[in-house]
Chain A
Amino acid sequence: MEHPAFEEVTVHHEHQDDATFKKKVRKTTILLSVITIIELAIGLIIYTMHKGESPSELLVLMFKGVVCILTLAKAYYIVSIFMHLGDEIRNMIMTIVVPLLLFVWFIIAFIYEGNSYKNLRNTYDKHFKETTTPVKHHKAEAPAAEPKSGKE
């Protein structure tokens, strides 16, 4: 039951037999679920850290980095196994993967720019800095919590 040849298709894809295929899908499903559960666990860890008195910025950042890497792993499995990109020939894989590299500079430039915009505003816009910077939890003297009187 192969599909009739499209002129441009040279080699017919041979599909795995039921057993191997089902095994592969089951394995991937379990893998995706496990990764998701780990991600959720890390999310909850970050949550409890935030609730604590003084969360270590570095540790939070590290956890977030781990989540990002896990997400990329998930994306890899979805594209490679579910979308069958892993079964295509090398030319095809390259034509999809290479253009995605543009995202690297896209992300770096935009994030860097956002960060620089924050620094600019903190330097030149006192009101912005005072009203939006989170204050440490000091019950007695809480300077930033005075009622806002709108923008100047």
Chain B
Amino acid sequence: MSEAISVHPGAGHAVHHDGHGHHHQSFVSKYIFSQDHKTIAKQFLITGIIWAIIGGLFSVLFRLQLGYPEQSFPILETFFGNWAKGGQIQPEFYYALITMHGTVLVFFVLTAGLSGTFANFLIPLQVGARDMASPFLNMLSYWFFFLASVIMLASLFISTGPASGGWTIYPPLSALGQASSGSIRGMDFWLISMAMFIVSSLLGGINYITTILNMRTKGMSMTRLPLTIWALFFTAVLGVLSFPVLLSGAILLLFDRNLGTSFFLSDIVVNGEILPNEGGSAILFQHLFWFLGHPEVYIILLPAMGMVSEILSVNSRKPIFGYMAMLGSLFAITILAFLVWAHHMFVTGLNPFLGSIFVLLTLLIAVPSAIKVFNWLTTLWRGNIRFTPATLFAIGFVSLFISGGLTGIFLGNSTIDIHLHDTMFVVAHFHIVMGVASMFGMFAGIYHWFPKMFGRYLNNTLGYIHFWVTMIGAYLIFWPMHYQGLAGIPRRYLDKRGWVSFNDFPELDKMITIVSIIVFAVQLMFVFNFFYSIFKGRKVRNKNPWGANTLEWTTPLRPGHGNWDGEIPEVHRWAYDYGKDGREFIPQTEEIGENESKH
């Protein structure tokens, strides 16, 4: 925990003074242990993409099981040996797959990959700073994430398998080796990896907050910040205040697993043997987990919201509608995110009175969310929209956020939740509103800022194919799940054939599986597009290809460490002067003219 102060003071400022001259750097210090925020952002992005492929592959594998429980796929046995004996996915393997799918996508892709990438890339560029407040801690943040990745990856290869108690790792399932083979050793790897991950996200988050507060260039007042920065700011606040609570929970769980304590265990009999644990409360862990877990949802969602706001405004050539309302709703969401965690636990035996307070607070979130949706729609309204892939993905985000958000109102009511809890309805809800929606935000961000990151464009045609297949695919995969859930089909079941009432939709399950394989293939196409375009894409010749106002487009085509060659530009206006006084866009660096109308 002492990293925070072992840094050389003024490390951030060394950059300020000699950032102009590009020193000759060795390969290692330029690309591996780089302290340049842009390189670190790319490191986060590429690690995130690798994890996304792995996590996506997991989902394809268990979708195979769900769609074709009776069929055997000999190729699986070739790859996974005993885990897929006779070409059939074994129960332990299935649970490991869903657990790791959740863990990898929630934490490694949509937290580190999303906010790690774009917070690192955009914050210094958009607030007008040479680099992060502390580039050294920023580098450390990535390498802790790397360490976490390595440990998690290693857990996939141990003989008893990775953690398999669900990504929410509820004890006693996660605390006792008797519960599942993944809980024998895999869970220890999971917890240690997560501790590293938390250190990484704390180092990152503290850095983001400090940079946004302290390093803004002259004239960049808080209300002139682009909404991306505000969203990333609140994301960092959420992370810094909620991740430590998961750290506590993880440490206590490690104790329960390895040191014989009884924080979360009580009165357990396994195969007739009475375990010595006494007096713990399994619900306590769920409280600790969801105290992080719920803010985590917004840690995933807010960066996407911020980028979507920016991209929609730039590409509809209109100022963002209701900037202050957007700010207010971001703030409200941040506060509420901390207060509503127990709405994930309505059926655990939570005190019903406490539950009703959580219902009230949860339903309040609908207000700021709706404000944001209306503002996005009004921003698009009568805009001069350029349908770039980034715009399409941003619009797709809004669509998914509405569809997924509405089902959230159902689930937020404890009375309805008691019926729908742990059914496919929940799976559909959170995948649409948080999983796929944030993924769309991430794609939008990648398509939009790729030219700034790599100096080349992504291929547009592939981009359009990517969008339409993913968009239609997402709805085809997750929309039917609502009906399955309403019909009472539970999630996390390996094989539903044994229950008459759960076996109503075998054809639907097959369809979902086929679509998910197609969508996964298209994601691979995107990955190809990504890596191909880094080296062979069309070169960017215009410093400001999208005609955007924000500061990152005033930097050179390929900015070095330090971002601006000369002085950092001063800011004179907000970021959303599009279509004002007959001009298509007015960059933030332009001084306000004498006869200019007010916005």
Contacts and interface: CB of A to CB of B under 8 A. Distances in A.
Direct A–B touching, Cβ under 8 Å: yes
Interface of A: 6-8, 99, 102, 105-106, 109-110, 112-114, 116-117, 120, 125, 128, 150-151
Nearest to B338: A102
B354 A151 contact: no
Nearest to B358: A109
A8 B354 CA distance: 45
B267 interface: yes
B431 interface: no
B344 to A, nearest CB: 13
B176 interface: no
A151 B10 CA distance: 61
A108 to B, nearest CB: 9
Given A109-B342, A114-B281, A7 B241 contact: no
B291 interface: yes
A134 to B, nearest CB: 15
Contacts of A150: 274
Contacts of A105: 338-339
Interface string B139-156: 000000000000000000
A109 B354 contact: yes
Contacts of B339: 105
A128 B269 CA distance: 15
Nearest to B335: A102
Contact of A7 (B16, B284, B338): B16
A113 B287 contact: yes
Interface string B270-289: 00001000000101100100
A48 B187 CA distance: 46
A149 to B, nearest CB: 11
Contacts of B237: 99
A8 B291 contact: no
B281 A7 contact: no
Contact of B241 (A102, A114, A117): A102
B13 A112 contact: no
A86 B380 CA distance: 47
B287 A109 contact: yes
A6 B133 CA distance: 12
Contacts of A106: 291
Contact of B287 (A7, A8, A110): A110
Given A113-B284, A113-B354, 11 more contacts: A6-B13, A8-B215, A99-B237, A105-B339, A106-B291, A109-B354, A112-B351, A113-B287, A113-B350, A116-B351, A117-B281
Contacts, number: 42
By Cβ-Cβ distance, the 6 closest A-B pairs, closest first, are A116-B351, A8-B214, A102-B338, A151-B274, A117-B281, A105-B339
Size bracket of the B interface: 20 to 34
B214 A113 contact: no
Contact of B351 (A6, A102, A113, A151): A113
Summarize B's interface: helix, strand, loop or mixed: helix
Contacts of A125: 267
Nearest to B214: A8
Contacts of B267: 125, 128, 151
A37 B215 CA distance: 45
Contacts of A113: 283-284, 287, 342, 350-351, 354
B241 A120 contact: no
B566 interface: no
Contacts of B16: 7
Interface string B232-257: 00000100010000000000000000
B352 to A, nearest CB: 9
A105 B291 CA distance: 11
Contacts of A6: 10, 13
A113 B339 CA distance: 14
B593 interface: no
B349 interface: yes
A99 B349 contact: no
B170 to A, nearest CB: 16
B247 to A, nearest CB: 15
A6 B17 CA distance: 12
B280 to A, nearest CB: 10
B241 A99 contact: yes
Interface in B1-59: 10, 13, 16
Contacts of B214: 8
